[in-house]
A = this chain, B = another copy of it.
Amino acid sequence: MAGARGLFIPGPTNIPERVRRAMDVPMEDQRAPDLPDFTLPLFADLKRIFKSEEGRVFLFPSSGTGGWEAAIANTLSPGDTVLAARFGQFSHLWIDLCQRHGLEVEIVDCDWGEGVPVERYADILAADRGHKIKAVLACHNETATGVTSDIAGVRAALNETRHPALLFVDGVSSIASIDFRMDEWGVDVAVCGSQKGFMLPAGLAILCVSQKALAAAKDAKLHRCYFDFADMIRTNNDGFFPYTPPLQLFRGLRAAVDLLLEEGLENVFARHHRLAEGVRRAVAAWNLKLCAKEKRWQSDTVSAILLPEGFDSNALIRHAYRRYGLSLGLGLARLNGKVFRIGHLGDLNELMVLSALGGAELALRDMGVPIKAGSGVGAAVDHFHQTGTTLAVAAE
């Protein structure tokens, strides 16, 4: 197929040229005497992305799922209880992982399209006088539904009830794209992956862990070795790793972190918000609805868009891919066939969003969905025109 493909799934995201080049290097010596000159500052700068001074960053060669596993395996023991809300495929999967590791999960089921029910969390925590709940799980951005939750609110609920449970946050599709504040929000384990806001291929779970969670590791009885914090700490302290690290990904991560810090995290967040709002204006102009049920929950990294009754989103997505090289996100689990998702995170700008919207309009028209050609793009153009640019121009 001629021309560049358009990748607008909510991860893995487009790799910036500079990151791609940084990874395209000959193999290196994993025990080179000068490797720590590279790795130690990288760890330090990663903490800035998490907005953490207290925490410690871990890099596991794995997907984000491995990060979920690392979070619990290092801090909990079989039979421990955790509190978690389920309102989409990814919040569901973390719960499933906990259960398969022998944890008791107190599940709060919500409508898909809602976020973490902060009030219900507060009620449950208040009722848990015996502190049976050892950890509270919260999915910061539910990628399946395009919903962002209020993590500060969860922290407030814990604080108000003086509950000592650890707070674990799935920030896979939020961190580095949407404001996230490790220390301020008292997050104990924040789990991220390389393939979303970090703009890299999948292959790295990136965690930030509080001192409280590290202390909890001492009594945690879940088996662990590959994902063991202690093995990492022992070698990371000198800038090395307990097993062969994925050095190309590290080189790419260095470049990605440089890009983020050069643009400035707040500028990155503002850019995501502005571009996301362009997409939402287009959805409105098409007379389609978002899966996110309230404005406060609309995600700045992914929009899940409901098709009208009678249209199959899988067919739309297949058509867009095969005919126009446009990748949109599938509807997952119960949303399958009903929504298509536009990922608008990572290395993104106005031109790319307009291309995604234009391509979506074309595919929607081809499939007979009653939208007016140009309406969505026009709404986004108007929005971008009116709001000016907030792009920091990084010295490429």
Near B by CB (< 8 A), chain A positions 255-314 give 259, 263, 268, 271
Contact B242 A65 (CB under 8 A): yes
- Asked if A248 is an interface residue, CB under 8 A from chain B, the answer is yes
Q: Name 28 A/B residue pairs within 8 A (Cβ), A-sorted.
A: A1-B349, A2-B394, A3-B14, A4-B351, A4-B352, A9-B30, A12-B27, A21-B21, A31-B329, A61-B61, A61-B63, A61-B66, A61-B203, A63-B243, A65-B226, A65-B243, A66-B226, A97-B226, A201-B249, A202-B246, A326-B351, A350-B358, A354-B355, A358-B381, A365-B382, A373-B377, A373-B382, A374-B378
Contacts of A391 in B (CB 8 A): 1-2, 323
- Which of A3, A97, A326 has the most B CB atoms < 10 Å from its CB? A3
Contact B201 A247 (CB under 8 A): yes
What's the number of copies of this chain in the assembled complex?
4
Q: Which residue of B lies closest to A101 (CB)?
A: B223
A378 to B318, CA, bound (A): 22
Q: Which residue of B lies closest to A15 (CB)?
A: B27
Q: Which residue of B lies closest to A195 (CB)?
A: B244
Partner of A14, one of B27, B380, B381: B27
- Asked if A347 is an interface residue, CB under 8 A from chain B, the answer is yes
* Least Cβ–Cβ distance between A96 and chain B, in angstroms: 8
Contacts of A15 in B (CB 8 A): 26-27
* Least Cβ–Cβ distance between A352 and chain B, in angstroms: 5
Residues of A near any B CB (own CB < 8 A): 1-7, 9, 11-17, 20-21, 23-34, 60-66, 68-69, 78, 96-97, 100-102, 193, 195, 201-203, 222-228, 242-249, 259, 263, 268, 271, 318, 321-327, 329-330, 347-352, 354-355, 357-359, 361-362, 365-366, 372-382, 384-385, 389, 391, 393-394, 396
* Least Cβ–Cβ distance between A252 and chain B, in angstroms: 10
Contacts of A322 in B (CB 8 A): 33, 393
Contact B365 A381 (CB under 8 A): yes
Contact A354 B359 (CB under 8 A): yes
A257 to B29, CA, bound (A): 23
* Least Cβ–Cβ distance between A350 and chain B, in angstroms: 5
Partner of A32, one of B243, B246, B321, B374: B321
Q: A65-B242, A389-B323 are in contact. Are A379 and B374 (CB under 8 A)?
A: yes
A357 to B378, CA, bound (A): 11
Partner of A12, one of B66, B247, B384, B385: B247
